[in-house]
Amino acid sequence: MSIAEQPCYTLINTSQDLEPPTEMQLREDLEKGNDKAKAEALRKLIVMMLNGEKFPSLLMIIIRYVMPSQNHTIKKLLLIFWEIVPKHTGDGKLLQEMILVCDAYRKDLQHPNEFIRGSTLRFLCKLKEPELLEPLMPSIRACIEYRHAYVRRNAVLAIFTIYKNFDFLIPDAPELIGKFLDVEQDMSCRRNAFMMLIHVDQERALNYLSNVIDQVNSFGDILQLVIVELIYKVCHSNPSERARFIRCIYNLLNSSSQAVRYEAAGTLITLSSAPTAVRAASACYIDLIIKESDNNVKLIVLDRLIALKDIAAHERILQELVMDILRVLASPDIEVRKKTLQLSYDLVTSKTINEMVLVLKKEVSKTHNEQDSEDVEKYKQLLVRTLHQCTMKFPDVANTIIPVLIEFLADKNELAALDVLVFIRDVMQKLSNLKDLIVQRLLDICGQIKSVKVLRATLWLLGEYCSSIEDIQNVMTFIRQSLGDLPIVDDEIRRSAGETKDEQDISMSAPVQRLVTADGTYATQSAFMSTNAMDKKTLNGPANDRNRQPSLRTFLLDGDFFIGAALSTSLCKLVIRYMNLENDSIKQNRFCAEAMFIIASILHLGRTSLSSKPMNEDDYDRMLMCVRLLNERLPITFQIFGHDCRTALAEMLTIKAQEQKEIEKKLSKEKAATVEPDDPIRFTQLLSSNEFDEKEDILDLTLKQAIGTIGKKDENIFSSSILSKVTQLTGFSDPVYAEAYVNVNQYDIVLDVLIVNQTSDTLQNLTLELATLGDLKLVEKPPSITMAPHDFTNIKANIKVTSTENGIIFGNIVYDITGSQSDRNCVVLNDIHIDIMDYIVTGICTDNEFRQMWIEFEWENKIVVNTTIRDLHLYLTYLLKSTNMRCLTPEKALSGDCGFMAANLYAKSIFGEDVLANVSIEKSAIHADAPVTGHIRIRAKSQGMALSMGDKINMTQKTGFKGVSLTQK
């Protein structure tokens, strides 16, 4: 913190719509009001002074009429007042009135009430004037021996601050506090005293710790935390001390305080890379996650375990603890479960895979009994994906996983069921020995599927992978039963007319069971249609009739003819495979005719008004093509449906597997510590203390991360420097020149404004007035200052950000000129536009998740491509670089040069908002020099996100892309 910067210790909330009181009103309340009126006036005065107002004439009024009060509220407000009030004259000398204030606080330090004494000592920590502190030193020393712990611990803090700032006032402070620490029993007092010794006399602190090292476990948690900090600092700067204190850290892993255990585990890993130390710290972390109820704490500790896993030397130790990590799945939070499953999958080995699969199967069975909610559905999906990954990594466990997951197909949760089908497709493609088992399981559960999407994908799987005559006939039987009586149109007309068939004429192969109706009579009912006349009387009406229809027919009557198109394709594949297996031409023709009859029946239904929605042209053309294929039986079409489709699927899955392997290779290369052949070997015993550990102090590192002062690595030196973030606010010819450095650190924006007085006049009450547009909020008003001729200064303003939108900061600088009788002068500032890219990070999502979000997100922004770039791939590359988005379309799909390109992009903000984009661009085949044309569709959940991303792309096209296009020539 710079000396010129005014620190703010206290924020006081006040209503913005209240009229501020005048100086006369304040004077009257402070002189003649009761304690309540004085306190209110003092509060208003403090707020006005924090906003830059000055009331020098009220200083003596407060000393005479307010300071003698014994009211605790007034005394507390006075401490804030004396903290912010100017204590020096214009030439830098201390105000005479401050001597009276000093005498009043000397009396407060001797007050019999411990609250007044302690509050006064806390106030003295903030005083920066040694002239005021010097007369108070005897009273401060006396407070060290006061009977109440609240006074003693604040006295230690006061001595610590005074010694750090003005050591000449109390040169024997370390010795005094050392003696105090030996006799003190209160933990909070000992903590403050020990913390002071750490910073001012580390050797004395180490001697004390050595004397009481056996008693550390009995100390309070606040003292134990300071001890952990000391041990880390000492061992970091002097590694020879590690053996002396490492045992103490081990003992603190068993502390009763969760915070101490967390800090001790982190310190232990930092100080030692021995397997026993890493194992003990990891076990401590896992225990913390299980026992801690706060989900934020669970996520933080999980991140520490993930960071440990990324270190190659520690990964093997964590692999032994994977079953303990899986205990974290007992947490109900979906984010905790997601990270736990990913971490467990990364750590699982051939030794632990069987145990892990057993645990996950138990979790799957638990989800069947839980009440359906959004988190439960997501958890089911996570379990399915983890088991899928485990099967691909360790194929031997597929036998035990498949029966459990196939049960999900009958579940109401569509997302989990679709993931199961993707898993089954990969297994059937790669593990051909399990194909027959899976087909049989799918046939068993088909009749229980309630979702049209799941049934559609299941029919495709059966059509693709049935390889025996028996299985093909079983699939055809299921299809006929699911459709009911054919043709569908004629059967529906008979039903609507009230005609019924004789019970004996209806043939059903589904299991039949006897049910009891509402009036106590028996009714015979199958899974497909009711046959009892009494049942028809009790369950009458179109809605109930629809519920009793076969499942496939129900979906078709609801207008979902896409499943009809998928069914037609599957029937074609079944016919082709049946004709290859069956030599009897009569049976071949009969099977083919039955398939054509089913497709024609669905086509006929689609052209009538019986269905809720008409059939679209795509589905109609697809089904008509299938009928033509079965009718003509051309070898080339049979080759495409029977062989080429399977080959294309195998290639697609192979490409996906290769991409996944490449990603894993990149991650493993990043984790691996490369050692060059000529790198020196470091022997611990031969190193000096300052050479031992080249790592940065973790405490300093976390502080820099918190305040955002860690520099970003960037290929472009200018873009990573401060100069790239400087915005000019006024012109060079203005009387006051201003420019701002915009430092964005996640949810905070710090404006460091340089102000230069370019005139020969003294500028008084110069105020930087700022306002914001968008989801930006100014935290506090910058204070007023006085500037000498040709002087310069820096003013900082803090701004909070709450969402990813293009924010604008605008304002002006107002000031008075000494001796001038005119109104206040004003310089209007240029607007500062906050770049949305500071909040956008690349994210990963699957194709299914992308499609689902694309359907759900209601805000769309369509951007026309306007660029001079002539290459499609170059345009996409620079679009990704300028928007921080990730391309979800595989690289293989984008390769080649066909004149057009379509790609899906995804990113998310640090606030958790998703943004999607679909790029559709093309290049003219006739004019080789023509630029890229097309459009970009952006979708987001909020309007601001969609508009802001669109503005960013438009601005980049105007500025960045034109610069790129010049390099093409």
Query: Could you report the per-residue pLDDT of 255-272, keeping only the tens digit for each?
Result: 888 888 888 888 888 877
More confident residue, 23 or 906: 906
3-state secondary structure of 895: coil
Task: For residue range 325-383, list pLDDT tens digits in order.
Answer: 888 888 888 888 888 888 888 888 888 888 888 888 888 888 777 666 677 778 888 88
- The H-assigned helical ranges of 672-785 are 689-692, 698-707
Evaluate if residue 951 carries a pLDDT over 60: yes
Residue 362: which H helix or E strand, with range?
A: helix 353-369
CB 606 within 8 A of CB 619: yes
**pLDDT category of residue 205 using cuts at 50, 70 and 90:** confident
Confidence of residue 386 (pLDDT cuts 50, 70, 90): confident
Whether pLDDT at 58 is above 70: yes
356 neighbors 390 (Cβ within 8 angstroms): yes
Last residue of a domain, one of 634, 658, 682: 658
Inform me whether the pLDDT recorded for 593 exceeds 70: yes
What contacts 24+ positions apart, CB below 8 Å, involve 492-495?
492/557, 492/605, 492/610, 495/545
471 and 605 part of one domain:
yes
* Integer CA distances (angstroms), 781 to 52, 657, 808, in order: 8, 56, 17
Any domain includes 39: no
Res. 691 pLDDT band, cuts 50 70 90: very low
Residue 920 covered by a domain: yes
Is the domain of 482 the same as that of 589? yes
Task: Tell me the percentage of the chain whose pLDDT exceeds 70.
Answer: 83
pLDDT of 682 higher than 80: no
What is the per-residue pLDDT for 182? 82
CA geometry: angle 934, 935, 940, nearest 5 deg: 165
Q: Which of 739, 706, 714 is nearest to 725 (CA)?
A: 739
Residues 941, 803: Cα–Cα separation, whole Å? 12
pLDDT at 966: 44
The chain-wide mean pLDDT, for the chain, equals 78
* pLDDT level of residue 543 (50, 70, 90 thresholds): very low
Residue (of 352, 356, 342) closest to 316 by Cα position: 352
pLDDT of residue 509: 40
Residues 20-46, mean pLDDT to the nearest whole number: 83
Q: Please, what is the Cα angle at 620 between 616 and 621, to 5 degrees?
A: 120
- The strand pair at 933-940 and 859-864 is best described as antiparallel
pLDDT at 292 over 80: yes
Number of domains in the chain: 4
Closest CA to 616 of 562, 664, 577: 562
Q: Is residue 250 part of a domain?
A: no
Domain end position, chosen among 643, 658, 673: 658
481 and 600 in a single domain? The answer is yes
Average the pLDDT over 307-312 and give the result.
83
Write the pLDDT tens digit of every residue in 722-748. 566 788 888 888 889 999 888 777 677
Of 812, 834, 856, which marks where a domain is finished? 834
Residue 527 pLDDT: 42
Look up the domain containing 765 and give its range: 723-834
Contact (Cβ atoms closer than 8 angstroms) between residue 281 and residue 265 = yes
- Contact of 77 with 42, CB cutoff 8 Å: yes
Residues 899-923: what's their mean pLDDT? 86
Task: Render the burial of 180-199: b for 16+ CB within 10 Å, e for the rest.
Answer: bbeebeebbbbbbbbbbbbe
User: Does 568 share its domain with 456?
Assistant: yes
C-alpha dihedral over 117, 118, 120, 124, to 10 degrees? 130
Q: Residue 217: what are its φ and ψ, rounded to 5°?
A: -65, -25
Residue 527 within a domain: no
794 and 875 share a domain? no
Mean per-residue pLDDT for 116-138?
Answer: 85
pLDDT at 718: 38
pLDDT band at 673 (very low <50, low <70, confident <90, very high): low
Q: Both tokens of residue 588?
A: 């071949």
What confidence category does residue 683 fall into, taking pLDDT thresholds of 50, 70 and 90?
Answer: low
> How does pLDDT run across 446-463, given as a tens digit for each residue?
777 878 888 888 888 888
Residue pair 181/220 in contact (Cβ under 8 Å)? The answer is no
Residue 963 scores a pLDDT above 70 = no
Q: Which residues of 20-31 are buried (b: 16+ CB within 10 A; e: fewer)?
A: ebeeeebbebbe
Same domain, yes or no: 469 and 593: yes
Q: What is the pLDDT of residue 635?
A: 81
Give Cα separations from 883 to 714, 757, 893 (angstroms): 16, 39, 21
The owner of tokens 């704490």 is: 297
* Residue 173 half-sphere exposure toward CB, CA atoms < 13 A: 27
Domain membership of residue 786 (yes or no) is yes
Instruction: State whether 827 and 732 are in the same domain.
Output: yes
Task: Say which CATH number the domain at 845 has.
Answer: 3.30.310.10
Domain presence at residue 438:
no
Do 489 and 598 lie in a common domain? yes
The span from the CA of 301 to the CA of 66, in Å, is 51
> How confident is residue 18, by pLDDT bands cut at 50, 70 and 90?
low
> Do residue 824 and residue 843 come from a single domain?
no
Any domain includes 136: no
Q: In this structure, is residue 328 part of a structural domain?
A: no
> Tens of pLDDT along 227-286?
888 888 777 777 777 777 788 888 888 888 888 888 888 888 887 778 888 888 888 988
480: helix, strand or coil: helix
pLDDT digits (tens, 9 = 90+) for 495-539: 777 654 443 343 344 443 434 444 444 344 444 443 343 333 333
pLDDT at 429: 80
> Residue 737: what pLDDT?
92
**Same structural domain, 730 and 588:** no
Say whether pLDDT at 851 is over 70.
yes
Q: Which residues, in sequence order, are CB contacts of 239 under 8 Å at separation 6+?
A: 684, 689, 692, 693
Q: Are residues 924 and 856 in the same domain?
A: yes
771 has a pLDDT exceeding 60: yes
d(CA 65, CA 72): 15
Question: For the whole model, what pTM was predicted?
Answer: 0.69
Per-residue confidence (pLDDT) for residue 363, from 0 to 100: 85
How many C-alpha atoms does 169 have within 13 Å on its Cβ side?
23
* Residue 694: pLDDT band with limits 50, 70, 90: very low
Give residue-wise pLDDT tens across range 786-804.
Answer: 888 888 888 888 888 776 6
* Dihedrals phi, psi of 184, to nearest 5 degrees: -75, 140
Residue 692's pLDDT band, with cuts at 50, 70 and 90, is very low
pLDDT value of residue 672: 55
Statement to judge: residues 820 and 936 lie in one domain: no
**819-832, pLDDT tens digit by residue?**
666 667 888 889 88
